[in-house]
Amino acid sequence: MNPEEMLVDARKDMRALLNRCKEPLRKLRKIHLRSDRRNVYEHMLTWESPRGNNWLVVLAYNKHRPSVYMLVWYYDKKGRIAGLICSASGGAMTICSHVIDRYGERYDPVVDPVQRLKVFFAENPSFSVLLQNEKEVRTDIDREVHIGINNGLGFGVWKANSDIVHMRTFVDRTMLFKEQEGRVDELDVMRMLQNMNPGQITEFSKFADKQIAKYEADKNKAA
C-alpha cells in the first residue's frame, strides 16, 4: 500500500479512533486537575483498527486544551516500516524508514523498528512546513520543503497530486548550519501557533508586537 492509499484507508478509522481517545483524555484531565497545572501530561495509545491499521496516538493535556496527535504505521513495498502522521487540520506527512533508522542511531539505538518509531513520534508528534524556495508560487508541481520537528530540521517533498509531505531525512539541532538555525526558529514558531487556541494566539501576537516595538526603539537609539 502506498502513502496515498494508506491515508485514504486510515481516514476511515478516524471516528472510531477518536472515540477510543475519550476515556484516556478524561483520565489525563483528572491527573491535570489534581497536579501542577503548569505541566503538560501525555499518554501514548496504541490501537489496531478492525481494518487492520496500526495506530499510535499521543494525547497531551495542559491548562489550555487537550491535543490529539495521530500516526498510522505500515510496511512499504520493500518490507520496511514507515509512518504517516495525520493532523487534525487534514494535512499528512510520511516518515520513511531512513528517517526512523537515522533517528534511532542518534537518539534510541534499539533494534525493534516499531519501538524506534514510537520513540520518534513521542518526541515529534507535530510538524510544520515551509517551502525551500519561497518564491515558487505554482501549486501543481512537487516542491522541496523544510520540515520543523522538535528534534531538528527535516527535508522532504510536498507532493502536489496528493497534498502529502514526504520527509526524506533530517538534521539534528546540534548539527545545523547557521542559516538553518534561523529556519528552525521560524518552523518552531509555526508549530507553536498551530498548537495554540485563538486566545493564546492573540496574547502571543500582543507580546510579539511589544517585543518588535522595543527592538525598533532600541535600534533607533543606537543609531
pLDDT in tens, the chain (223 residues): 788 889 999 999 999 999 999 999 999 988 888 888 778 889 999 999 999 999 999 999 877 778 899 999 998 888 889 999 997 667 899 999 999 888 888 877 766 888 889 999 999 998 999 998 877 767 778 899 999 999 899 999 999 888 899 999 989 888 888 889 989 999 998 888 776 555 555 665 665 666 667 667 776 777 6
Res 105: pLDDT:
81
In a domain, residue 191? The reply is: no
Q: Cα 26 vs. chain centroid, distance in angstroms?
A: 23
Res 200: pLDDT:
54
In a domain, residue 9? The reply is: yes
Q: Per DSSP, which regions of the chain are E strands?
A: 41-48, 54-61, 66-75, 81-86, 92-95, 128-131, 143-149, 152-159, 164-172
In a domain, residue 197? The reply is: no
Dihedral angle sign, alpha carbons of residues 122, 43, 93, 73: positive
Res 38: pLDDT:
78
**Containing structural domain, residue 101:** 3-184
In a domain, residue 139? The reply is: yes
In a domain, residue 138? The reply is: yes
The structural domain count of the chain equals 1
In a domain, residue 97? The reply is: yes
Whole-model pTM above 0.85? no
Would you say how long the chain is, in residues? 223
Is 93 in contact with 167 (CB distance < 8 Å)? Answer: yes
In a domain, residue 19? The reply is: yes
In a domain, residue 37? The reply is: yes
